[in-house]
Homo-oligomer: A and B are copies of this chain.
Amino acid sequence: MRFSVGCEIGYELLSPSTLIFNIEAMTGGRQTIQSEKLTIDPQLSADDSVAIDSGNRYLRLTAPAGPVQLRYEAIVALEAVHAEPEAIEEVPVAQLPLETLPFLNPSRYCPSDQLARFASRQFGDIAPGFSRVTEICNWINAEVDYLSGSSDTTTTAADTFSTRAGVCRDFAHLGITFCRALGIPARFVSCYAWQLEPQDFHAVFEAWLGDRWYLFDATRMAALDGMVRIGCGRDAADTAFATIYGQVNSGPIRVWSEALDGDTSEPWTTDAVSITRT
């Protein structure tokens, strides 16, 4: 399927500032950018580069005080791998690829050490495999209220676990935290999400199962085969859509994602879906 995705972001810089954006669709795996266009107003030279380890694309620009407006738009094709959930196994730690090991470690928003005992009590006796991660998502979806404004940029998965309320990034953090506590590598993914209402940047997570990274969305607010990946990392600390060094006022953000040729009437897939092996 192909998607038209993009965003418009505006700032009023109160001082000369450096801004690092991570809003461009990733390339690689089963995600292909067919066309894209970035507009910066005023025209400023920007340093656009791809991080070797994560594949995240960073747009870095230094701007004088005054208004800055960004618009990014792209046509992206997804040919996601679909697989039978029942056929996908967990990988024992002893056999995990070395590059997945950092995604077992606790991180800023995913203190898997703190929730280890609960994860083991609640999910330890479930048969390992893709379906165990599905159970984790079921649990989060049932036990945590999706509630705008209930969390902020300091909220960790342990906080969400206690308060039982959060938004998409909190749902993803909690899923990642439980996976890591069980020995399943898991990472945070920011994306453009088809059918998400209202449209915004979305956050989901990927777990390493079988021989790939599979997508999971504990919010169940968008179809798994319509996620155009933007950034991935340990947690939200690695995938901020904008990191700003300087003083600014933020304007409104507009985000969109539309299927170009999909039959939008289909029910959402219940397959296991993966975009990437790395």
Contacts and interface: CB of A to CB of B under 8 A. Distances in A.
Interface of A: 18, 20, 47, 49, 51-54, 58, 60, 62, 92-94, 98-99, 101-102, 104-108, 110-111, 113-115, 117-118, 121, 143, 145, 153-154, 158, 161-165, 183, 233-234, 237-238, 243, 245
B121 A237 contact: no
User: Do most interface residues of chain A lie in helix, strand or loop, or is the interface mixed?
Assistant: mixed
A20 B93 contact: yes
A46 to B, nearest CB: 10
Contacts of A165: 117
B113 A111 contact: no
Given A113-B153, A117-B163, A163-B117, A101 B237 contact: no
Contacts of A94: 18, 47, 60, 62
Contacts of A161: 161-162
Contact of A162 (B58, B143, B158): B158
Contact of A145 (B47, B60, B117, B233): B117
A162 B118 contact: yes
29 contacts: A18-B93, A20-B93, A49-B98, A51-B98, A52-B53, A52-B98, A52-B99, A53-B99, A53-B102, A58-B101, A60-B94, A62-B94, A93-B245, A102-B233, A106-B108, A106-B237, A107-B108, A108-B108, A108-B110, A113-B154, A114-B162, A117-B145, A117-B164, A118-B163, A121-B143, A158-B162, A162-B162, A183-B245, A234-B234
Contacts of A60: 93-94
A49 B238 CA distance: 25
Contact of A238 (B102, B163, B243): B102
A234 B42 CA distance: 36
A62 B51 CA distance: 33
A110 to B, nearest CB: 8
Contacts of A183: 245
B51 A101 contact: yes
Contacts of A234: 107, 234
